[in-house]
Amino acid sequence: MVQRTLLIIKPDATERDLIGQILSRVESARFKIVAMKMVHLKPEEARKFYAVHEGKPFLDALVDYMSSGPVVPVVLEKENAILDLRDLVGATNPESAASGTVRDVYGRDIQCNSVHASDAEETAKTETRFFFPDL
């Protein structure tokens, strides 16, 4: 079944000019780019996007980080897109990420791990609508 999912290239990656390298890996993995843009989230937008983490001790730092520079949300499509993208990007903590995954190669630490990837079908729909309400 063809699915859509959301990838966000995070501020640490945009700052290091890694957008093209990350997108190249995504396209090499046969994902189709459906929509993409560059945005600089305001803190209140970042907090709304990560509302699922409300009350968790890391939320304020995550909001500060995600609003610290531009991000590139990208809607991707292919068969089994959600799991395939999660496999491509690797574990949240780059130290635990499989060798050769995006986070292994480009991630700095558990927060500055270069990318966000939706973790489930409903999450992908909600996160996609956040950035691309008309899609």
**Active-site amino acid positions:** 116
> How would you write the chain as a 3-class SS string?
CEEEEEEEECHHHHHCCCHHHHHHHHHHCCCEEEEECCECCCHHHHHHHCHHHCCCCCHHHHHHHHCCCCEEEEEEEEECHHHHHHHHHCCCCCCCCCCCCHHHHHCCCCCCCCEEECCCHHHHHHHHHHHCCCC
